[in-house]
Amino acid sequence: MNTTRHWPKRAFILSRALSRAFSDTPSPTFPLKHVTRSNFDSALVELRSHVRAADFVAIDMEMTGVTSAPWRESFEFDRFDIRYLKVKDSAEKFAVLQFGVCPFRWDSLKQSFIAHPHNFFVFPRQEIPLDRTSYEFLCQTTSMDFLAKYQFDFNACIHEGISYLSRGQEDEARKRLISPKGDQLTHLSHNLRETMDLPLVRVADVLFTERMKKRLGEWRDDLLQNRVGGPQEEKVPDDLNQQFRTVFFKMRPALSLDGFTSHQLSLIRMVTRKHFKDLTYVCFNGESTSEELVVYTDSESDKARLMEEVKNDHQRRAEMKINAAVGFRHVIDLLSSENKLIVGHNCILDIAHVHSKFLAPLPSTAEEFVSCVNKYFPSIIDTKILLNADYTLQRKMKRSSTSLSSAFSLLCPEIAHGFRRNVLSYEPCVKVEVHVDEMRSSNWNSGAKHEAGYDAFMTGCVFAQACSHLGIDFQLHSPSENLTENEKLQKHMNLLYLSWINEDIIDLRTGNRSAELSGSNMIRKPYRKILFKNIVLLWGFPSKLKPSMIRDCICKTLGPSSVISTYCIDQTAVFVQFSKAELASDFLNLKETLEQSNDAISHLHPLSQLLEGGNTRAASYETYKEICASPISKVLFADQAEAVGIKWKTELLPSDKEESHDNTRSHLESAMDSPQAVQKSKTRNTEDVVNDSSNKRFCDDIIDSFLKVEKIRRTTNL
C-alpha cells in the first residue's frame, strides 16, 4: 500500500521541493554574456539599449588584489581620512580583470525584473603610445588563488581582455595628435616636415642615391611619354622590379617601395625632395600595414591637395585608433551618460577603481574624490547599507552574514537554488528573469559564482529584494518612474561603507563621514571611541617585544592606568593609546631624553627594554597618515617609514618642544609615580623631586640596582 497518500498535503509538496533542490541532476546553467575583444563592439551596442531601458544597473568587479601590504589592511585605529588613503592605494596598485554589468528592467506584464548580465574581460593593454612605457600592477597571491579556485580564465583575460584609456589618457592622446609632436602617433613626419639632407659619407650611399635618382627619373619620364604616345614596355633590372611596383594612390600614379631599409628610404625621400618637383614621397598607414610611396603630381596645387588628403587620412585613422583604444571605458561612459541608478555591494573599492582606471588619478582627499564621483555617477546605492538599515533585514541576515553570497542565498532562495519560494515561505519574492541573446531563463544553478557578471546579477537581485522589504512595491512601478527619485531610497542614496569593520560611512555628496545608520547599532557591538590625539605610533623596536610587553614597559613608567590599549599594526609597529593626551606627550618627551642620556638611570629605566638597539621610532598619529599617503609599498611598516624618508627617532609635539631639559630630567626621575604626579613634575625643579618621598624611594631603588650590577661586574672581572 502506498503510504504517500496519507501524508499531509503540505509535507508532500515540501518533500518534492527538497528533492528537486538537492537532486543530483543539475539545473540549467546560468546564462551569462561573456564579452572579450572579439565581440565587444556588438555587445556594446546591445548593452546600450539595455541600459537605456533599465530601472537600475548592478555592477561588480574581480581584481588582482586588495591590499599591497599587511599594514594597509583596515584597522580599528584607522581614522576616516586614513581609510580613504588605504582604499586609494588599493585602487591604484591592483588591476581589474573582470567587470560585471547587469541592467535590470521591470516588466509590468510579467511582473518580473528582466536582467541582462554581462561579464567583461578587461586587461590594461597599451594600444597607442603614451608617456608610460607599459602598465604595471600588483597581484596578491590570496586573490589570484581565489580566482583560480573558481576557474577564472586567465588566458581569456590576458589574450582577449578589453583594453581601455582613462579620460585623462584619451585627452593626452588627442593633444599629441594635434600637436607638432603628434607625428609619433600619426606617422606624418615624412610628409609634413622638411627632411634635412643626409650626409653622404659612404660610397654606398652616393651610389645608391644616384641609382635612385636615375630610376625615379626614368619612371617619371615613362609616365609622361605614355601620356603622349601610349604605353611602352619598361626595361629595368630584375632586382629593381622586385622593389618598385607601379600602383595608383588617390587617383594618381605612384611607385610602391618594398624591401628597402629605413636608411635607404630616408635617402629616397631626400632624392625625391631635392631633384623632383612633381614627385612626392608619402608614408601611408593602412589598416594593418604601412606603405612607402612616391606619387606623381601634375602641379604644385595638385601636390598640396595630395598632402592635405594624406594628412586628413592620417588624422581620421589616428582618431579611429584612439576611439578603439578607449575600449572598455565606453561602458563607463554609457553608465554615466544615461544617469541610471548604480547598485553595488560594499562597493567603495569598486567605485575607486572606476575613478582610477577610467576617469582620472585618484585625488589625495576624500572630499575631492566624492566631488568627481558625484559628477559622473550622481546616484549610487550600496546594498550593504540597505541590509544594515532595516532591523528586520538585519535579523534575517543573522547579524554578521552580510556577504553578497549569503545575502543572495537568504533573500533570494528561489533564484539561488531553483525552487519556488512560496512552497517554503509566505514572504513575497521579487521575480527575476534572465535574458542573454536569445536565451531566457528563470531557473538555473549558481555555477558562475565569483564571475563579475554573475556577482553583478546577485547584487541586483539582493537590491530588488531589499527594496521590497523597505516597502517599495514594484507591482505598482511604472516605466516612467525613476528609482533615483524614490523617497524610500533617497535616505540611503550615495552612502557607502568606507570601512565595514568600524561602520565608517562616507557620504558621496559631501565627502564627510555620515551619521550611523538607524538600526545598525541594534545588532553590531559598539566600538570604543578612539581619541587620535592620545595615540603614539611606535616602530622599529626590538623584534622580541610583543604589544603586551610594550604596554608593560610604558605602564611601569607612567602608571598602570596610563595606557588604554596597544594595537599591532604588524610585527614592526604598534599603536599605543594613552588615557590622556598629556601622557602621550610625556612619553615622547621622556623617550627623547632617555635616548640622549647614557648613564645608569637610563640603562636601568623600565623603557630601556623598548629602546634597546637604538632603532625605536615614535611619532604622533599624523605621521601615520603621512606614511599611508605615500605610493611606496613595503611589506613591513618599519621599512615603509624609512622608504618614505622619516629618519628621526622621536617626533615631539609642538608644546613639548618648549619644555626645558631640566624639567624633562625631573620627569625622568619621577617616572614611576602616578599620572597626576607626572603632570605636577612639569612645574617642579630637580631639588623638589629629590625631596619627594616616593620619588626618593624610586631613586634609591635605581641606585641599589646599579650598585648590585657594578659589584657583579667587578667580581666577574676578577
* pLDDT 10s digits, 525-563: 455 678 999 999 999 999 999 999 999 999 999 999 999
pLDDT surpasses 90 at 331: yes
Cell of 399: 547579524
| Beta-carbon contacts of residue 218 (< 8 Å; ≥ 6 apart) | 236
Closest CA to 326 of 351, 356, 358: 358
- pLDDT in the model for residue 410: 86
Q: pLDDT higher for 570 or 8?
A: 570
pLDDT-derived band at 330, boundaries 50, 70, 90: very high
Question: What DSSP line would sit under 189-250, residue for residue?
Answer: HHHHSPPPPPP--SHHHHHHHHHHHHHHHHHHHHHHHHHHH--------HHHHHHEEEEEET
Q: pLDDT higher for 383 or 599?
A: 383
Mean pLDDT, all residues of the chain: 80
- pLDDT in the model for residue 674: 41
CATH topology of domain 532-644: Alpha-Beta Plaits (3.30.70)
Residue 139 CA to residue 147 CA, distance in Å, equals 11
Q: What is the distance of C-alpha 266 from the center of its chain?
A: 45
| Beta-carbon contacts of residue 40 (< 8 Å; ≥ 6 apart) | 120, 162, 327, 328
Q: Residues 108, 477: contact at Cβ < 8 Å?
A: yes
pLDDT-derived band at 311, boundaries 50, 70, 90: confident
pLDDT-derived band at 660, boundaries 50, 70, 90: very low
Closest CA to 626 of 69, 94, 82, 78: 82
Specify the range with the lowest mean pLDDT, choosing from 30-44, 61-75, 589-603.
589-603
- pLDDT in the model for residue 528: 61
Right CATH for 33-164+329-507 from 3.30.420.10, 3.40.50.170, 3.30.70.1380, 1.10.300.10: 3.30.420.10
pLDDT-derived band at 161, boundaries 50, 70, 90: very high
Q: pLDDT higher for 285 or 465?
A: 465
Closest CA to 584 of 657, 528, 534: 534
- pLDDT in the model for residue 715: 41
Q: Residues 162, 121: contact at Cβ < 8 Å?
A: yes
pLDDT surpasses 80 at 402: no
Phi, psi of 510 (to 5 degrees): -125, -25
Q: pLDDT higher for 20 or 167?
A: 167
Average pLDDT over residues 190-198: 50
The secondary structure element, H or E, covering residue 495 is strand 495-499
- pLDDT in the model for residue 527: 54
Q: pLDDT higher for 183 or 387?
A: 387
Question: What DSSP line would sit under 347-409, residue for residue?
Answer: -HHHHHHHIIIII-PPPSSHHHHHHHHHHH---EEEHHHHHHH-HHHHHHTTTT--SHHHHHH
Q: Do domains 33-164+329-507 and 182-223+240-309 have the same CATH topology?
A: no
Residue with the three cell numbers 611596383: 245
- Amino acid code (one letter) for 131: D
Report the DSSP pairing between strands 504-507 and 495-499: antiparallel
- pLDDT in the model for residue 713: 39
Q: Residues 122, 164: contact at Cβ < 8 Å?
A: yes
- Domain boundaries along the sequence of the chain: 33-164+329-507, 182-223+240-309, 532-644
Q: What is the distance of C-alpha 112 from the center of its chain?
A: 35
Q: pLDDT higher for 717 or 448?
A: 448
pLDDT surpasses 90 at 107: yes
Average pLDDT over residues 45-63: 97
| Beta-carbon contacts of residue 512 (< 8 Å; ≥ 6 apart) | 367, 506
pLDDT-derived band at 658, boundaries 50, 70, 90: very low
Residue 700 CA to residue 685 CA, distance in Å, equals 19
pLDDT-derived band at 443, boundaries 50, 70, 90: low
Question: What DSSP line would sit under 136-151, residue for residue?
Answer: --B--HHHHHHHHHTT
Strand partners, 102: 58
pLDDT tens sequence across 5-25: 444 444 434 444 444 444 333
- pLDDT in the model for residue 621: 95
Specify the range with the lowest mean pLDDT, choosing from 37-46, 358-367, 668-677.
668-677
- pLDDT in the model for residue 189: 41
Closest CA to 352 of 85, 165, 171: 85
Q: Which letter, b or e, does each residue of 684-703 get, where b requires 16 or more Cβ atoms within 10 Å of its Cβ?
A: beeeebeebeebeebbeebe
Average pLDDT over residues 134-161: 92
Q: Residues 698, 676: contact at Cβ < 8 Å?
A: no
Residue 666 CA to residue 684 CA, distance in Å, equals 7
pLDDT-derived band at 228, boundaries 50, 70, 90: low
pLDDT surpasses 80 at 351: yes
Q: pLDDT higher for 72 or 696?
A: 72
Percentage of residues of the chain with pLDDT beyond 70: 74
pLDDT-derived band at 131, boundaries 50, 70, 90: low
Q: Which CATH class is domain 182-223+240-309?
A: alpha beta
pLDDT tens sequence across 362-376: 999 999 999 999 999
Residue 278 CA to residue 301 CA, distance in Å, equals 11
Cell of 468: 521590497
